[in-house]
């Protein structure tokens, strides 16, 4: 059938099973937005294109489906850059469609022209500029396939305006949108043999190990391998530590669970890793935030590293047994191959560390963020998704709220994007209407993209926005305190904004919490309220995130007060 | 150590910038890069000479393989024929012409242009051979020189194939 490029785009989105788009219209995407009116796709209009990309990202992380963004050319396109980079660092499947000036105007510094494929080359898994209208459907199909296959990531498709209006011949196609393990070339000849040999070697090393640790990351969640991971860890009887991205991959209430490892890992988690003789690392990339000083990281440990991206194996740390492939497949193979272990001595040592060095904060009767989050966890439990901004509140949310299900903790781990959380909360709430999304924010991060409260209000999304207001850029201030001799340069904010009034201006229920005794009451009111709520929690400026390992130091060198 | 990588890529616009961008972003140093079409018009072949230890070359190969436009990366440092081409414009007066011609003859190079005071010499060979000729011509005064990157093929019947399923070698 004959359709315009814009109509073809809509049809191709439907082929992919897309039902929701995050975006912002503009001159170079007018034909697309026109075609959108005749479709049944849901379009979430954000305040800013950055919010749209974070929205699509949060939607993708919460649902496991590909997030989709529309933005116009020029500034619309450049506004998506931070959101794309955030998704790229955390391997989030996303396809961003940007409008572009017509082909005849391309390269002439035309109005709202920018080379967005050039700009996003290092922060996308791949990108395209469409110069032949007939190629449009296949480019869109390829974009989705690339975004979701193998190690997922963002893909950008730049569509000039005249391609959107060109009439082409469109033939519908049925697409298999399951994640599968496409892109993992593990099945073929030599590579398959290498994997088999690796598995055998891994089983042998696991059998011989007396002090193993399982280290889990975001890859387990992406691969939907949390069940296999839990089975594996239970058969191994080893303690389980996690990266920030891995929260929710292994149930936090499980006795083998030790939580975060690395810069903000507990003493017991970091001691366990530092003293182990084997790390089975699953879907992680050994980020500098985890390993600290690489030469002193788990000095007596062998490392088995399982990942779908071969480039991660041996990149940040020397790996003894690299296993390249879908972590779900490899874990279930390992579960079948390994013998059940008994590690009583080792687990006794770990238990002892756990007892001796629990995660703690000083409870002096004042309102503490850790207390609020613990209370929130007790009251909210399941059926909630936590999103965060970036900073102290993010780490508290990782430490004091327990995550027992994958896709319930959504945070910018790799890029550390302040201003990510509210957009991500919008996306997660749109993608999971039956769950309640709670965004944990700091006052600094909240100010970055507070404009998205308008989106929350517009779509009446029942998001709970909790702002830990310490009137400071807390994490940077903490680093200034610890590592820059308490010279607080530009990190003190003061009470310049009344957040409750701001919420009210958006017709959002605003509450202020400044008393420990009222925590339960206020949280209950928010949780019971059927609509968007903002809670401003007044906390102390000098409250710190502990434990902390100084950047680049061995992870056993812990500061905890 | 120097490695020569042969990289088959899809002949899409922007592919050169994707590859050079990867090198600069990840801090890999390119000694030389040569690119041209192959027997298949949809496929280009890049020959990239890089200096690095085993870790660097492994990372580089893996990162290149992640680029969608890259079809295959092969390290052809061992057992291959590698050639560069250089054009050298050298001062050549009546009195020095013969001497230069003798050097050109020994190197099996070619004179491709001559004027009253200069000669332009074309030479192909590996990097050392070209550098050696350059050094010998230096005393006469090199006015201009241009050098291509290295290109290479593996010796014997070995062929780098394209499809993912094909095994190396």
- The CATH number of the domain holding residue B109 is 3.30.70.1150
- Single residue among B32, B51, B78 that ends a domain in this structure: B78
List A1, A111, A339, A483, catalytic entry: A111
Write the residue in A118, A122, A188 that is nearest to B25 by C-beta: A122
Cα–Cα distances (Å) from A215 to A287, A421, A518, B151, in that order, read 12, 26, 38, 44
- Residue B168 pLDDT exceeds 60: no
- Please report which confidence band the pLDDT of residue B163 belongs to, taking 50, 70 and 90 as the band edges: low
Arithmetic mean of pLDDT over chain A:
96
List the strands of the sheet with A94-100, edge to edge: A42-45, A20-23, A67-71, A94-100, A154-160, A126-129
- B68: closest chain A residue by CA: A126
Contact B65 A315 (CB under 8 A): no
Contact A118 B65 (CB under 8 A): no
pLDDT score of A191 = 82
List A161, A328, A368, A544, catalytic entry: A161
Q: What is the mean pLDDT of residues A246-261?
A: 97
Cα–Cα distances (Å) from A536 to A251, A412, A432, A444, A513, in that order, read 30, 22, 25, 12, 6
Write the residue in B14, B65, B168 that is nearest to A117 by C-beta: B14
Tokens representing A68 are 């989709």
Q: How far apart are the first and last CA of chain B?
A: 23
* Residues B35, B94 within the same domain: no
* Residues B60, B86 within the same domain: no
Q: How many CB atoms lie within 10 A of CB B158?
A: 14
- The CATH number of the domain holding residue B25 is 3.30.70.260
Let me know if A504 is a catalytic residue.
Answer: no
Write the residue in A146, A185, A315 that is nearest to B68 by C-beta: A146
Arithmetic mean of pLDDT over chain B:
92
Contacting residues for A228 by C-beta, under 8 A, at least 6 apart: A327, A328, A331, A332, A335
Cα–Cα distances (Å) from A200 to A194, A196, A334, in that order, read 10, 6, 9
Q: Judge: domain A369-538, CATH 3.30.390.50.
A: no
- pTM recorded for the entire structure: 0.95
Determine what percent of chain A is predicted with pLDDT higher than 90: 95
- Please report which confidence band the pLDDT of residue A190 belongs to, taking 50, 70 and 90 as the band edges: confident
- Residue A78 pLDDT exceeds 90: yes
The top-level CATH class assigned to A185-356 is: alpha beta
- Please report which confidence band the pLDDT of residue B165 belongs to, taking 50, 70 and 90 as the band edges: very low
Domain limits, chain A: 2-169, 185-356, 369-538
- Single residue among B78, B109, B133 that ends a domain in this structure: B78
CB A549 within 8 A of CB A262: yes
Tokens representing A553 are 């130091």
Query: How does DSSP assign A353-386, residue by residue?
Result: HHHHS-------SS--HHHHHHHHHHHH-SSEEE
Q: What span, in angstroms and rounded, lies between the C-alpha atoms of A388 and A129? A: 33
- A399 has a chain B CB within 8 A of its CB: no
Q: How many domains does chain B have?
A: 2
Q: What is the mean pLDDT of residues B47-74?
A: 94
Is B135 domain-assigned?
yes
| pLDDT tens digits for range B110-120 | 999 999 999 99
List the Cα angle B47/B48/B53 in 5-degree steps: 140
Range of the domain at B127: 81-151
- Residue A182 pLDDT exceeds 60: no
pLDDT score of A183 = 43
Let me know if A112 is a catalytic residue.
Answer: yes
- Residue B66 pLDDT exceeds 60: yes
Contact B167 A146 (CB under 8 A): no
Q: Is the ipTM of this complex over 0.85?
A: yes
CB B7 within 8 A of CB B19: yes
| pLDDT tens digits for range A29-64 | 999 999 999 999 999 999 999 999 999 999 999 999
CA distance B109 to chain A (A): 42
Query: How does DSSP assign A493-532, residue by residue?
Result: --S---HHHHHHHTT-EEEEE--GGGHHHHHHHHHH-SS-
Q: What span, in angstroms and rounded, lies between the C-alpha atoms of B165 and B169? A: 12
- Please report which confidence band the pLDDT of residue A188 belongs to, taking 50, 70 and 90 as the band edges: low
CA distance B39 to chain A (A): 24
Q: What span, in angstroms and rounded, lies between the C-alpha atoms of A468 and A465? A: 10
| pLDDT tens digits for range A136-146 | 999 999 999 99
Q: How many CB atoms lie within 10 A of CB A378?
A: 12
* Residues B85, B147 within the same domain: yes
Q: Which CATH superfamily is domain A2-169 in?
A: Thiamin diphosphate (ThDP)-binding fold, Pyr/PP domains (3.40.50.970)
Contacting residues for A450 by C-beta, under 8 A, at least 6 apart: A422, A502
**CA-based nearest residue to A437, from A394, A397, A385, A401:** A385
Contacting residues for A431 by C-beta, under 8 A, at least 6 apart: A20, A58, A59, A60, A62, A63, A65
**CA-based nearest residue to A17, from A67, A62, A58, A52:** A67
CA distance B68 to chain A (A): 7
Report CA Rg, chain A: 24
* Residues B63, B107 within the same domain: no
Let me know if A401 is a catalytic residue.
Answer: no
Is B168 domain-assigned?
no
CA distance B165 to chain A (A): 6
List A7, A24, A49, A368, catalytic entry: A49
DSSP three-state, residue A70 = strand
Is B164 domain-assigned?
no
């Amino acid at each position: 059938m004959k359709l315009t490029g814009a109509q073809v785009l809509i049809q191709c989105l439907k082929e992919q099973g897309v039902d929701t788009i995050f975006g912002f219209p503009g001159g170079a995407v007018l034909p697309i937005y026109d075609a959108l009116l005749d479709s049944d796709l849901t379009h979430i209009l954000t305040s800013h294109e950055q919010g749209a990309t974070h929205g699509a990202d949060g939607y993708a992380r919460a649902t496991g489906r590909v997030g989709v963004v529309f933005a116009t050319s020029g500034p619309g396109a450049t506004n998506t850059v931070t959101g794309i980079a955030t998704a790229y660092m955390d391997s989030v499947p996303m396809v961003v469609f940007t409008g572009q000036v017509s082909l005849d105007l391309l390269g002439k510094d035309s109005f709202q022209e920018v080379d967005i494929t050039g700009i996003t080359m290092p922060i996308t898994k791949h990108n395209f500029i469409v110069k032949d209208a007939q190629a449009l459907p296949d480019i869109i199909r390829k974009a989705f396939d690339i975004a979701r296959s193998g190690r997922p990531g963002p893909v950008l498709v730049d569509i000039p305006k005249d391609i959107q209006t060109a009439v082409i011949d469109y033939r519908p196609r049925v697409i298999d949108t399951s994640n599968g393990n496409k892109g993992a070339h593990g099945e073929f000849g030599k590579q398959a043999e290498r994997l088999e040999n690796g598995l055998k070697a891994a089983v042998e090393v696991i059998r011989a190990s007396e002090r193993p640790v399982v280290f889990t990351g975001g890859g387990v969640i992406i691969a939907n391998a949390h069940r296999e991971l839990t089975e594996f860890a239970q058969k191994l009887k080893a303690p389980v530590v996690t990266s920030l991205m891995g929260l929710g991959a292994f149930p936090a209430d499980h006795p083998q669970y030790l939580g975060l490892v690395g810069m903000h890992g507990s003493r017991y988690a970091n001691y366990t890793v530092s003293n182990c003789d084997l790390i089975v690392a699953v879907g992680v990339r050994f980020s500098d935030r985890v390993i600290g000083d690489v030469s002193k990281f788990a000095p007596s440990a062998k490392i088995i590293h399982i990942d779908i991206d071969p480039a991660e194996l041996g990149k940040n740390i020397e790996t003894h047994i690299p296993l390249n492939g879908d972590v779900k497949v490899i874990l279930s193979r390992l579960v079948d191959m390994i013998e059940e272990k008994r590690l009583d001595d080792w687990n006794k040592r770990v238990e002892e560390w756990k007892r001796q060095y629990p995660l703690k904060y000083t409870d002096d009767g004042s309102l503490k963020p850790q207390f609020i989050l613990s209370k929130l966890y007790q009251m909210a439990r399941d059926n909630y998704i936590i999103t965060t901004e970036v900073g102290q509140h993010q780490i508290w949310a990782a430490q004091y709220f327990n995550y027992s299900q994958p896709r319930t903790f959504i945070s910018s781990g790799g890029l550390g994007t302040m201003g990510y959380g509210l957009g991500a909360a919008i996306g997660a709430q749109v993608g999971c209407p039956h769950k309640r999304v709670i965004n944990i924010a700091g006052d600094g991060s909240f100010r970055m993209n507070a404009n998205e409260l308008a989106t929350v209000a517009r779509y009446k999304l029942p998001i709970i926005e909790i702002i830990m207001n310490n009137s400071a850029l807390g994490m940077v201030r903490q680093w200034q305190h610890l590592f820059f001799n308490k010279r607080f340069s530009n990190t003190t904010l003061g009470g310049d904004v009344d957040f409750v009034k701001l919420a009210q201006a958006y017709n959002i229920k605003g509450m202020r919490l400044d008393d420990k005794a009222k925590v339960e009451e206020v949280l209950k009111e928010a949780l019971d309220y059927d609509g968007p709520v903002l809670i401003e929690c007044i906390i102390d400026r000098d409250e710190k995130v502990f434990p902390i390992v100084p950047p680049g130091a061995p992870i056993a060198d812990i500061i905890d007060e | 150590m120097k490695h020569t990588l042969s990289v088959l890529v899809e002949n899409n616009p922007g592919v050169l910038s994707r590859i050079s961008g990867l090198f600069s972003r990840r801090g890999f140093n390119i000694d030389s890069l040569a690119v041209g079409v192959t027997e298949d018009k949809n496929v280009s072949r890049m020959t990239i000479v890089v200096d690095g230890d085993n870790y660097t070359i492994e990372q580089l190969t893996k990162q290149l393989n992640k680029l969608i436009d890259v079809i295959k990366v092969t390290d052809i440092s061992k057992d291959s024929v590698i050639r560069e081409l250089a054009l050298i414009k050298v001062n050549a007066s009546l009195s020095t012409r013969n001497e230069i011609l003798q050097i050109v003859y020994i190197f099996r190079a070619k004179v491709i242009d001559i004027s009253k005071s200069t000669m332009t010499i074309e030479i192909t060979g590996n990097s050392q051979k070209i550098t050696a000729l350059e050094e010998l011509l230096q005393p006469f005064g090199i006015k201009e020189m241009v050098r291509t990157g290295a290109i290479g093929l593996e010796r014997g019947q070995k062929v780098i194939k394209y499809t993912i399923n094909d095994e190396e070698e």
